[in-house]
Amino acid sequence: MMETIIKRILVAQYLLDTLHLRDWLMQSGLSRRSSSYVGRVYEVLLFSWLNRILKGFIYLLCLTDGEYRTQKDWGSGYARPSADGREYPLE
């Protein structure tokens, strides 16, 4: 369930990206210059804050669920996964 929520948040973040907005505006018939200007304004005023909020929400979800660990946790005695999928204890 937690993975589904995180995946949906990441998809929303991807779809709300500035490049997608510029592409949608250009496909709608707006000039490249105008769509770039609107994209820059959108990125500064809305997307930068929205992106931070979404990342913070994902971080809080990971903190509340013991199954997920942040990169900071890897250095505190947890086993580190390797390329072959096995976990090796930290020394």
The domain segmentation of the chain, as residue ranges, is: 2-69
Contact at 8 Å (CB) between 61 and 1? no
Residues 3-17: what's their mean pLDDT?
83
- CA angle, 59 as apex, 73 and 12 as ends, to 5°? 140
Q: Give the pLDDT band of residue 32 (cuts 50, 70, 90).
A: very high
Find which of 31-35, 58-62, 69-73 is predicted with most confidence, using mean pLDDT. 31-35
- What pLDDT is stored for residue 91 in this prediction? 46
Own/partner long-range contacts of 68-73 (Cβ < 8 Å, ≥24 apart): 68/2
Helix, strand or coil, per DSSP, at residue 69: coil
- What pLDDT is stored for residue 34 in this prediction? 93
